Structure 1
Amino acid sequence: MAGIAMPDRAAGSTAATKSKSKTLATWLALLGGLLGAHRFYLHGWRDVLGWLHALGSLIGLVGVVRMLNLGQDDHAAWLLIPLFGAMVVVAMLSTIVLGLTPDERWAERRGQPLQDTRWAPVIAVVIALLVGGAALMGTLAFAGQMFFEYQKLSA
């Protein structure tokens, strides 16, 4: 229309979007990834995957508590503890993906100016590799042990 100025969506979307720090997102994934903190930081409180991180982690944590209270014979704990381990692995994988995203791509996706992140995300990635590798191996060992013990009990 001739008399009405239409707002430019591309310019308005970058101005309306808050700048998101790659370093902060990476460290939130490392330290609060089990509860979906990095998802809530990047996508807001309505992010379904963020809530699934929290739900899966809390359900898996119930298995850990059951194992501590009831011992190794609790079958529900056998199923829930590997879920907790898988959630730890997912959180560490999220840390690695966020931390290793190139700065140029981060700025392009977020519609913000390029910022040099230096070494802080790399340090978080190294820690995530250590924790994630240990969690993955521990989860596989625990699930394998429980599977073969269950097979022995049912035979």
Structure 2
Amino acid sequence: MSRMTPFASPLLLGFDTMEKTLERISKASDGYPPYNIERMHADHTSGDPERLRITLAVAGFCDEELDVTIEESQLVIRGRQAEQAERDYLYRGIAARQFQRVFVLAEGMQVLGATLKNGLLSVDLVRPEPERMVRKINISVSQ
């Protein structure tokens, strides 16, 4: 018996790569580091569009140990701490572990920037209003 997926509809053409991306992300998610996604409402007085802010709890990481990149249509945030061998821990509850967190971006999403403050990494995104486009397709007649 074949598996039926949400993107298997004959009306959804060209979404097979998105389905593969969603499967890969769902398998790679382990919950670390914890994060929030919040909507920053549009400021109509200045004309700023609505934004999204992704905030990750990255306590113990400095900016040199964090990497924020866009790879194809994905926002990838990586953290890698260097192990400090000269320390003699009596108890170690804060692990120096690496992480990778991936967010799939919708078409047109743009990353405005990233800031690190008080152990929180915030990445701001915006989606400019798309232009409404209607295009007439000519019909050729063959005889």
Into which bin does the TM-score normalised by the smaller protein fall? under 0.3
Q: What TM-score, normalized by structure 1, do the two folds share?
A: 0.24
Instruction: Give the number of the structure with larger relative contact order, counting CA–CA contacts within 8 Å between residues 6 or more apart.
Output: 1
TM-score by length of 2: 0.26
Q: Which has the higher strand share?
A: 2
